[in-house]
Amino acid sequence: MPHSSIPTPKGQRLLGHLAEFKKNPLDCMIRWQREFGDIVNFRILSQNFYLLSHPDLVEQAMTEQQDVFVKIYDPQKPKGLQLFMGQGLVTSTGPLWNQQRRLLQPVFQRRNILTLLPEMEKAGAQLIARWRQLAPDTEVDISAEMLHLALEVLTRTMFSTSVLDRVDVIAPALEVCLRYAAATVLNPLDPPLWVPTRRNREFKRALAALDSIIYGLIDERTANPGRYNDLLHLLLTSTDPETGAGMGRRQLRDEMATLFVAGHETSANVLTWTLYYLAKHPEVMARLRAELHRVLNGGIPSEDQLDQLPYTKAVLFEAMRLKPAVALMIRKIGRDTRLQNYPLKAGSLAMISIYNIHHHPALWENPEAFDPDRFLGQKASKYRFLPFGIGPRFCIGNQFATVELTLLLAMLAQHFDFALCSDQEPEHDMAVTLRPKGGLRLRVRAIN
């Protein structure tokens, strides 16, 4: 089969596509897919990239050639999330990743997740009680509120403790770390961490604040082991089924830092966008409430009832389709290869645009419309709906997220109405996760 040349947008001789891409990476990738198709070649300085925006390309890269399309990892020169997650499950590779996956897999089995429901409920009930004190139609920054809620769920379930008294330290520190991580991948011009720039000093301060909290929780539990029904207990007592080894203190820290981001940042953004779409589509909210009334009659879902809420889950899945919490996956190409009839060069980076795939007009009817019905009665192809990734590195926390999101949405929708404060579509802000730029304000009104 003859090689086909990959479409390439016009760029600058030295900088390549840096200026256009840096201005707004997500909008740039959306535009390139529409103008040039499902595979696009671009360059930032000397780094070559391929943008992949079709399930067939993803299947070939992430499943058939998973040994070629690999995670970017160099412990000597950490980049992106490695800078503060270290060698956690999301960032590690090779034998270490295999060992950590084996250790963590039992922790995230559904039966273990369901034992955490009471702590999830407490966090939701706390927010509901606070919102009930608000005057009707108070404007609330839903984005900030959902970040605090998801962080409270995570720490209650993971550490059996509340961190609401420290949220003013944790939330901004995570924000700084995420933005810094994204910049190191997408902008090669950023100076290395040892250069004492303002941004580097800010990152180091944020990292030290997070480490102080995480190591403090580890050391406190190690000194007072006891019996706890939480993820930290499971992490401390888990052993590799093949070697019998447990986790060291640094590895525990890396996994906990990973869970801080993967376990609360993504859930918070899914809830934020879901409540936005429910405010925008009151007919969907009415149908959602009808299901909740029929199944729950004003109560909190039990283990069994969580599986009796198909429309509630369809609403969440449709929000995840339109606004995937992780809109982009990046892999390094280990050797020269081909996708379909296109040649790809070793050393290049492949950007898999989950956002573009979720909005692809050839894959979804009326792709820009919010229509939960598309997730009723049939499963979306695993290569065209990728909220939890794909292949061997499929998100290990997908069960945790699905249980948490279903429970919290059911609780919030039974107690509150949400209305838009503006008809203007929120702008995107992609700092690892996909958020509404500058937060997202909705009017909140208690309904019973």
Do 269 and 433 contact (CB within 8 A), yes or no? yes
Q: How far is 275 from 298, CA to CA, in rounded Å?
A: 19
By DSSP bridging, strand 47-52 and strand 349-353 are parallel
- pLDDT of 74 reads 67
For 17-100, list the strands marked E by DSSP: 39-44, 47-52, 69-70
pTM of the predicted protein model = 0.91
Neighbours of 370 (CB within 10 A): 20
Which residues does residue 43 pair with via DSSP β-bridges, in sequence order? 48
Q: How far is 440 from 307, CA to CA, in rounded Å?
A: 30
280 exposure class (CB count in 10 Å sphere: 0-12, 13-18, 19+): middle
Q: How far is 441 from 135, CA to CA, in rounded Å?
A: 15
Instruction: Read off φ and ψ for residue 183, nearest 5 degrees.
Output: -65, -35
* Structure token pair of residue 218: 């580890």
First to last CA, the chain: 65
- pLDDT of 1 reads 45
SS3 64: helix
Element (H, E) at 415: helix 398-415
CATH of domain 18-446: 1.10.630.10
* Structure token pair of residue 357: 């795939």
- pLDDT of 380 reads 66
Q: How far is 80 from 329, CA to CA, in rounded Å?
A: 12
Do 282 and 245 contact (CB within 8 A), yes or no? no
By DSSP bridging, strand 337-339 and strand 342-344 are antiparallel
Per-block mean pLDDT, blocks of 10 residues, the chain (448 long): 78 90 90 96 93 95 91 73 83 81 82 90 96 95 94 87 81 86 72 84 93 90 80 80 82 87 87 98 98 95 94 97 92 94 94 96 96 86 84 82 96 97 90 87 93
